[in-house]
Amino acid sequence: MTAIARLRDTAPRTVLLTAAALFSVFPLLSMFSAALQPQGTAPAGISFPLHPQWHNFVDAWNVANITTLVQSSAILVLGVVPAAMLISSMAAYAIAQLRIPLGNVFFLLLLLGLTLPYEIVVVPLYYQMQSMGLLNSRLGLILPLIGLNMPFAVFWMRTHFQSVPAELSESSSIDGAGPWQAFRHIQMPLAVPALASLGVLMFLSTWNQFLLAIVLIDDPTKRTMAGALQGFVGAHSTDVVLLNAGALLIMAPTILVFLLFQKFFIRAMLAGAVKG
């Protein structure tokens, strides 16, 4: 193949991929350029300043309480993800491996929750949490998020447990292991890859949870990172520079984690999309 023929072959591909990638980052670049302008000025479009004001990020960090927000989101993720991973695995194991009676009915019931939007539960949840005395508390957000994660999590883990040969539990039961021992010492270690992907997906959905966070928690510093954005915008909507710097900082932790483990994220999300 001559150089020109090769170029003609790869050029459309390169151009399209570049265009798609540019489209994806353009809004973020536009934010970034605005965040570097002097505070109090009115930036125009994308224009990278000669003297970028990096300290805007320091100011935004303090104004937006990023330290507190990262801690808060971390608490929520730690409260939701491990618990949801454990109880969804147990349920999926019961449905797929123990074949509990009426297990399929339970599974169909869960599938309903996979399609229904959060909008139908959010208002009743508000009053339910109010009567439970959990409104405005982190626990009051953690518990519903665990419950609402069940449809996808059980669905995901059931697919995994269906692929585990039944001989495995048979031989372990012959060796005298009860279902709990078999689950803990044989099934869970084998489920690590499936659990890891599930963990990534639930980390993202918890960290980025918006609707439930703004409804169930009044105090922006106790919300998720995404929920905190609402309070931050309310307070700084006129200051374009600080707003963009703050919003970028609020996005930064997930972007950082994503860049570090991108292959893992992409694999989990593509598989999650197909399974979900």
Partner 1 sequence: MSVAPGLRRGDTVTAPTSRPATARPAERATTRRWARPQRSRAQWAGWLFALPALLMYAVFELRPILTAVQCSFYDWDGISAATPVGVANYTRVFTEPQLLASIVHSLVLIVFFTVLPVILGLAVASVVREIRSTWAGAAARTLMFLPQIIPGAASAIAWTWMYSPDGAVNQLLRALGLGSLTRAWLGDFTWALPAVGIIGTWLATGLCTLLLMAGIGKIDTSLYEAASLDGASRLQQFRAITLPGLRAEIGVCVTITVIAALASFDVVFMSTQGGPGYSTQVPGVQVYQLAFTENRIGQSSALAVVLSLLVLAVVLPLQRVFKEK
Near partner 1 by CB under 8 A: residue from 1, 4, 50, 167: 167
Residue 135 corresponds to which tokens in the numbers above?
């409104």
Tokens of 162: 């269906």
Per CB under 8 A, 165 contacts partner 1: yes
Stretch that binds partner 1, among 11-19, 50-58, 63-71, 188-196 (CB under 8 A): 11-19
Strand, coil or helix: 261: coil
Task: Report the site for partner 1 in 47-86 (rule: CB under 8 A).
Answer: none
Q: How far is the CB of 62 from partner 1 (least distance, A)?
A: 19
Among 13, 108, 189, 260, binds partner 1 (CB under 8 A): 13
Backbone angles phi, psi at 81, to 5 degrees: -65, -55
Residue 230's alpha-carbon distances to 57, 126, 243, in angstroms, are: 18, 18, 11
Residues 6+ apart with CB under 8 A from 273: none
Stretch that binds partner 1, among 55-63, 64-72, 154-162, 188-196 (CB under 8 A): 154-162
H-helix segments, the chain: 3-35, 55-63, 66-96, 103-115, 119-131, 139-162, 166-174, 179-181, 188-190, 192-207, 211-216, 225-236, 240-260, 262-275
**Least CB distance to partner 1 at residue 58 (A):** 20
Q: How many CB atoms lie within 10 A of CB 138?
A: 17
- Listed ranges 19-27, 54-62, 63-71, 191-199: which one lies at the site for partner 1 (CB under 8 A): 19-27
Residue with the two structure tokens 């995994």: 160
Binding mask 176-215 for partner 1 (x = CB under 8 A): xxxx--xx--------------------x--xx-xx---x
- Min dist CB 150 to partner 1, Å, is 4
Nearer CB in complex with partner 1: 14/67 = 14
Site for partner 1 in 79-118 (CB under 8 A): 87-88, 90-91, 93-95, 98-101, 103, 106, 109-110, 113, 115-118
